[in-house]
């Protein structure tokens, strides 16, 4: 890996602040989706809303790695260094391709869908795929140029428009899920419009001939395909569980599991936004800076992330009062909460460094193995044990194992010493799940506090080093 020019810590901090501001707005939109919408919609209707969200999360697959390839190829270049004619041509190629994909999905919706609600969901998904992937293309361009603030602003527009519409619909108590889907589409269209306006110089460049545009696009797809498949495989680790739940127990069970997963995704989505800012900055950094930053992020997450488990107890109490129809499935939340810790660690630290080190194929193998494990354990949970709890526990176990292996691999690759903290964190996690499921609330809280205090004592040196490095990073600037 070549040496970079050095990390601009002031720029990194500024981009991070804007990114977290954007994610704060996304958080509010997620709260509205997860806490206000189910208050208005029935359990079955909410299930169809979640089915659309579930499908929408896989829309990026249909670019076949084009966005990911451009992201990897152009990462670290400035706006002046990027070939604008090539980008414009690939955008046009991608748009034509997405329109064909949308037409195929629409045909499937009309011919195959067994009921009107699922047909509507598929038709909306077809339109969303076009809007989302074109906005994503330009968003990746912004990120690759380290103009991540523009991407963050597009996210703010998307979520603010959606939040404004959804609050009105909740206030007037719209009981059908279709208007909420339309709000989702409108907000993404607004985000795409903003991205196009901020990319005017790219579209002003004359497009290349069709054959050259196709050649460049296929080349970008070839580079990004492994990362795209890796991302989809990572999403399917949980997606397989949701699909099997829908197939085995129906749309209501799917909606209940999806509700608790949406609670988990609050934290994952918020914290993982930092990875978007880190990638171009780390690509510009020196090897020593990458190593030091990796150790800082790893130690910081090991020390602080287990605090998330303490949030379960007040959240469970509040949610059981606010949405009593989901109270009988509260234990799903306890089982799924470790995903917050280990999936976020994977996204923020491991996946980012796999991309920086151009180890996309290693990341792909890790995610495919994790997916295979999830499929096997979920299938056993559904068809052998017949327990939804077993399905969720199997999925969580796979996510934990993926994080542990990836961290160990990167420790060796980057040249950072391995600590016993990950294994201790797994023990702490298992203790939390056991306490949350089996002990009275007060006993569980006090018991986990005692265990976490012991964990901090065992890792006091990492905590001290993390604080020292934080001070150095905050006082350094360019």
pLDDT (tens digit per residue) in 215-268: 999 999 988 888 888 888 888 888 888 888 888 888 788 888 888 887 787 777
pLDDT averaged over every residue in the chain: 85
List, for residues 109-155, the tens digit of each pLDDT value: 888 877 888 899 999 999 999 999 999 999 989 888 878 788 889 98
Query: How many whole angstroms separate alpha carbon 131 and alpha carbon 62?
Result: 12
Q: Of 23-37, 66-80, 176-190, 366-380, which range is least confident?
A: 23-37
List, for residues 439-459, the tens digit of each pLDDT value: 898 999 999 999 999 998 888
Query: How many whole angstroms separate alpha carbon 365 and alpha carbon 203?
Result: 37
Cβ atoms 65, 186 nearer than 8 A: no
pLDDT band at residue 270 under the 50/70/90 scheme: low
pTM of the model: 0.74
Cβ atoms 283, 144 nearer than 8 A: no
pLDDT band at residue 375 under the 50/70/90 scheme: very high
- Most confident stretch, 238-242, 324-328, 430-434: 430-434
Cα dihedral sign, 7-461-343-41:
negative
Query: How many whole angstroms separate alpha carbon 478 and alpha carbon 14?
Result: 12
Query: How many whole angstroms separate alpha carbon 296 and alpha carbon 293?
Result: 5
For tokens 């964190």, what's the residue? 425
Classify residue 323 by burial, with Cβ atoms within 10 Å: 0-12, 13-18, 19+. middle
More confident position, 466 or 342:
342
Cβ atoms 335, 263 nearer than 8 A: no
**What DSSP state is assigned to residue 285?**
S
- Long-range contacts at 378-384 (CB < 8 A, ≥ 24 apart): 378/240, 378/241, 378/244, 379/244, 381/244, 382/244, 382/245, 382/247, 382/248, 383/248
Angle between helices 178-197 and 148-171 (to 10 degrees): 150
Cα dihedral sign, 452-313-326-234:
negative
Cβ atoms 115, 96 nearer than 8 A: no
Indicate if the pLDDT at residue 368 is higher than 50. yes
pLDDT of residue 377: 95
List, for residues 280-317, the tens digit of each pLDDT value: 667 667 788 888 888 888 888 888 888 989 988 998 88
pLDDT of residue 478: 46
**What DSSP state is assigned to residue 37?**
H
Question: Domain extents for the chain?
Answer: 9-475
pLDDT of residue 37: 85
pLDDT of residue 475: 62
Query: How many whole angstroms separate alpha carbon 143 and alpha carbon 158?
Result: 17
Classify residue 15 by burial, with Cβ atoms within 10 Å: 0-12, 13-18, 19+. buried
Indicate if the pLDDT at residue 273 is higher than 70. no
Indicate if the pLDDT at residue 157 is higher than 60. yes
Q: What percent of the chain has pLDDT over 70?
A: 90
Section 359-379 average pLDDT? 92
């Amino acid at each position: 890996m070549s040496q970079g020019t050095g990390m601009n810590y002031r720029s990194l901090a500024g981009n991070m602040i804007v990114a977290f501001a954007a994610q704060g707005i996304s958080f509010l939109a997620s709260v509205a989706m997860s806490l206000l919408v189910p208050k208005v919609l029935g359990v079955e209707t909410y299930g169809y809303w979640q089915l659309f969200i579930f499908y929408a999360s896989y829309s990026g697959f249909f670019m076949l790695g084009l966005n990911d390839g451009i992201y990897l190829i152009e990462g670290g270049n400035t706006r002046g260094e990027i070939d604008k004619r090539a980008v414009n041509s690939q955008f046009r190629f991608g748009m034509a391709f997405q329109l064909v994909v949308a037409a195929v999905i629409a045909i499937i919706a009309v011919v195959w869908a067994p009921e009107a609600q699922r047909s509507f969901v598929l038709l909306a998904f077809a339109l969303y795929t076009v809007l989302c992937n074109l906005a994503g293309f330009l968003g990746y361009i912004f990120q690759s140029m380290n103009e991540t603030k523009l991407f963050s602003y597009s996210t703010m527009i998307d979520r603010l428009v959606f939040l404004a519409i959804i609050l009105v619909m909740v206030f007037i108590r719209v009981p059908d899920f279709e208007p909420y889907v339309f709000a989702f589409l409108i907000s993404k269209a607004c985000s795409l419009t903003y991205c196009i306006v901020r990319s005017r110089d790219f579209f002003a460049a004359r497009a290349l001939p069709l054959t050259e545009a196709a050649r460049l696009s296929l080349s970008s797809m070839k580079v990004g395909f492994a990362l795209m498949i890796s991302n989809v495989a990572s999403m399917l680790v949980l997606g397989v569980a949701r699909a099997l739940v829908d197939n085995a127990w129906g749309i209501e069970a799917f909606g209940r599991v999806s509700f608790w997963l949406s609670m988990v995704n609050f934290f994952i989505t918020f914290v993982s936004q930092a990875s978007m800012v880190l990638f171009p900055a780390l690509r510009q950094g020196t090897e020593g800076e990458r190593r030091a930053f990796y150790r800082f992020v790893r130690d910081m997450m090991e020390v602080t992330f287990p605090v998330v488990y303490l949030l379960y107890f007040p959240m469970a109490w509040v949610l059981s009062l606010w949405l009593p129809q989901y109270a009988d499935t509260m234990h799903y939340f306890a089982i799924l909460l470790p995903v917050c810790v280990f999936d976020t660690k994977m996204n923020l630290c491991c996946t980012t460094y796999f991309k920086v080190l151009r180890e996309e194929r290693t990341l792909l193998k890790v995610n495919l193995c994790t997916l295979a494990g999830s499929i096997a354990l979920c299938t056993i949970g559904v068809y052998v044990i017949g327990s939804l709890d077993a399905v969720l526990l199997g999925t969580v176990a796979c996510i934990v194992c993926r994080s542990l292996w990836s961290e160990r691999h990167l420790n060796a690759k980057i040249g950072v010493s391995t600590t016993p903290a990950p294994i201790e964190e797994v023990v702490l996690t298992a203790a939390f799940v056991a306490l949350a499921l089996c002990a009275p609330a007060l006993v569980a809280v006090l018991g986990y506090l005692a265990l976490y205090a012991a964990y901090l004592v065992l890792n006091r040196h990492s905590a001290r080093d993390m604080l020292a490095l934080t001070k150095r990073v905050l006082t350094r600037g360019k």
